[in-house]
Amino acid sequence: MSYTTDSRESTAPQNYYASLDDEGSLVERFKNVDDKTQFYAAMRRLGDPLTQNFVLDFGNEEAWCASDLGTKELKVLLSKPAITKHYGVSERLQGMMCTEPVHHPEPKTTTPLPTKRTSQSPSVAPSFQHEVDDPENALKHLTDPDRSRESASFKNLTFAQVTDQIWHFSSVDHGPRYTCIGYNTLFVIPTLSQPNGKDLPDGKRLWTWLVQCDDGTIISIQENPFPRRKGLPIDEAKPVLDIVRRNIRFIFAGVSRQHFAMSESESLITIRVRHFSDLGPDQANIKQEDGPSLLFYYIFDDWVSSYGLIAKREHKYGVALENLVSIVLVASFGNVFLIMANSAQRGQMLERPVVDLVNELHWLGRRLAVLKRLYQSYELIMRRLLQRQRMLRDEARSAQPAPISYGATFGDMEFVDMRQSSLVRDSSFHNTTEKSVGVQLSSTAVARFERLVDRINLYCLSEIENCLNEKESLTFLNFNLIALKDSQAVEKLTRITILLAKATILFLPVSLMSAYFSTELIGVKNGYTKTDYWVSFAVIFVASVLLLTVFGYASDTVEGKTIYRSMVRTFFRNSLQKMSRRRE
């Protein structure tokens, strides 16, 4: 939670905190982060896994922060019983904010079920398979009707379960004194594996509430990454919290004056939401009233995670598609070659079935679809915010009286006065009947939100769409390769049949000639010598070969065509592959 100091510029922050609390606990808790020692101490507390909350109070002159404030101290700080009641948040929204997160138990090792086709689920009665055709008997094996009604009702459904099951769920609420958005964020921990199942992307999903109030207060509530887990080791919690609080650390570091000492190496991730009056004209474009709106924007815009998706560093779906199968079909001189990107996998697409690859591509597409809907929910939030901002600006512009042009006559002045009075009556009637809701953002924040919408469409959604298209093309190519393999088998069988038929046809004339020489006819028996027999055999055999060759060229059934590979070439290639494997 953070807010800007605007109405107490003339009062020292310590005197302000002392005026709120008679016991003086707030004065001891808040530290000036413009001081180098206090800044680094606050950065350590922000990275501490045991830190529960963090309060930042900044303005043009100074910035103060406190951590791990209690409920009593937060009430004193806002001078109201509760934060949500102070800003008029609805009871429904309050209840959703206070929902306990969903606890996912640790996966237990279970005995794998048999994979035979004849096996059946243990929850199904053995006699049920004989009674499936009978609807009346089949209804007896259904679950209890009371239990079915209880599961179908929303009695046990919580808001945390909705956000955990629907990752693209989002919320945009407006009130007279606040604007509240809720969204899911996916954090990828490089050093830890965070699997969420086959159909969900890997990473840590956390729900975030972000509220902007009309007095400059920004409230950020994030789901507990470790719900209902006590005594969690620091080594396990710290890598997760380092990524989860990464964007908050960047924002907090940009508020302090001490961050300029390391801004040379971190200029790309430096975030400015505060105006420093003594640092030259470069900071003059950041006004104090722009601070809350810029803070609201930068908490929402976790651009480091988006860059990880675009650069294929965190959500490596593009790399996974390239490593899964990288196939190029090259046609050259009527011969088709399959070229694999990995030399170890060369030729595997035709040597083994690749049906399993379709299953992997299917689950990869499911994860990409979830990620796409997640970024589309961000786009929906920003479009609704920008639509509300345009409405608020139009209302503010229409509420202003029409300007009087210079050089107007007295008659024109009277007409303008009558027009202004009618506008005031219309606006007062409009305000009494309907009051606009929502908090107006500054122009700088609105411009950044518009730029963020374009960035999400141009980079994130286009990258995901490109991966989905590549997945579809790989699936289509995989089925084509399977069909090509089947056609290869059919063609090989056909050529074997043709070869046997040619061999039969080749020796048929020779057989007829031998039968002729063996006949016991007058003038034939004992009328030919061995030389005559073998000369006739050679002539007939050569003539048969020539006729079969001419017929093969005429009917395009000569070996050595499209997919045919000779036995010599096959033996030579297999020998080279075995030798290369032995070397590896």
More confident residue, 74 or 66: 66
More confident residue, 95 or 446: 446
Mean pLDDT of the chain: 73
- pLDDT of res. 419: 47
- pLDDT of res. 313: 62
Confidence of residue 206 (pLDDT cuts 50, 70, 90): very high
* φ, ψ (nearest 5 deg) of residue 570: -65, -45
Structure tokens at 268: 């790309």
More confident residue, 116 or 148: 148
More confident residue, 463 or 334: 463
346 pLDDT higher than 60: no
Q: Which of 12-21, 76-85, 416-425 has the lowest mean pLDDT?
A: 416-425
Express each pLDDT in 130-182 by its tens digit: 444 454 454 444 445 555 555 555 667 888 889 989 999 999 999 988 999 99
Confidence of residue 432 (pLDDT cuts 50, 70, 90): very low
**How far, in Å, are 155, 324, 338, 339, 572 from residue 351 at the CA level?**
55, 17, 11, 13, 16
Confidence of residue 266 (pLDDT cuts 50, 70, 90): low
Q: Give every strand in the sheet of 54-58, ordered side by side.
A: 31-32, 63-67, 54-58, 2-4, 217-222, 204-213, 178-187, 171-174
Confidence of residue 241 (pLDDT cuts 50, 70, 90): confident
Q: What is the mean pLDDT of residues 552-565?
A: 60
More confident residue, 344 or 152: 152
- pLDDT of res. 184: 93
User: How much is the CA Rg of the chain, to the nearest whole Å?
Assistant: 39
Q: What is the mean pLDDT of residues 91-112?
A: 69
Task: Look at the pTM and tell me if it is higher than 0.85.
Answer: no
Alpha-carbon distance of 467 to 365, in angstroms, equals 8
* Whether 326 contacts 338, CB under 8 Å: no
More confident residue, 227 or 129: 227
